[in-house]
Amino acid sequence: QQPVQSPQAVILREGEDAVINCSSSKALYSVHWYRQKHGEAPVFLMILLKGGEQKGHDKISASFNEKKQQSSLYLTASQLSYSGTYFCGTELGRGSTLGRLYFGRGTQLTVWP
């Protein structure tokens, strides 16, 4: 039930773009994205619901294709502050599992000046 993230790591220069993918073998109710910096707690970025919506937050946006059970996180014109490990968390939305997230292994993003 753990989603699969790709790539495992990305190295960028400031100003470059990146895409992080998350896919599941299970039908998804929603997808959550979090960023974690070394030694810190994961911090919420956004939630995407069924319906294929796309959300944006500053220069970070995401899409959710419920038919393919896939989500992608888009980082545009990356900044140094974007460095960290990005996790997708998937919610199956069935009975007692509603609200409980399964996290991928993470994508480590490094932005260089």
Partner 1 sequence: DTGVSQNPRHKITKRGQNVTFRCDPISEHNRLYWYRQTLGQGPEFLTYFQNEAQLEKSRLLSDRFSAERPKGSFSTLEIQRTEQGDSAMYLCASSMGRVNEKLFFGSGTQLSVL
Residues that bind partner 1 in the complex, under the rule CB under 8 A: 2, 30, 32, 34, 40-44, 47, 49, 87, 89, 91, 93, 96-106
SS3 content of the chain, % helix, strand, coil (to 5): 5, 55, 40
Instruction: Specify the 3-state DSSP secondary structure of 94.
Output: coil
Q: Please, which residue, 22 or 111, has the CB nearer to partner 1?
A: 22
Distance in Å, CB of 18 to partner 1, minimum: 18
Name the minimum Å distance from CB 43 to partner 1.
Answer: 8
CA dihedral sign, ordered 73, 77, 79, 83: positive
109 CB neighbour count, 10 Å cutoff? 21
Residue 99 or 113 with smaller CB distance to partner 1: 99
Q: State in angstroms the smallest separation of the CB of 48 from partner 1.
A: 9
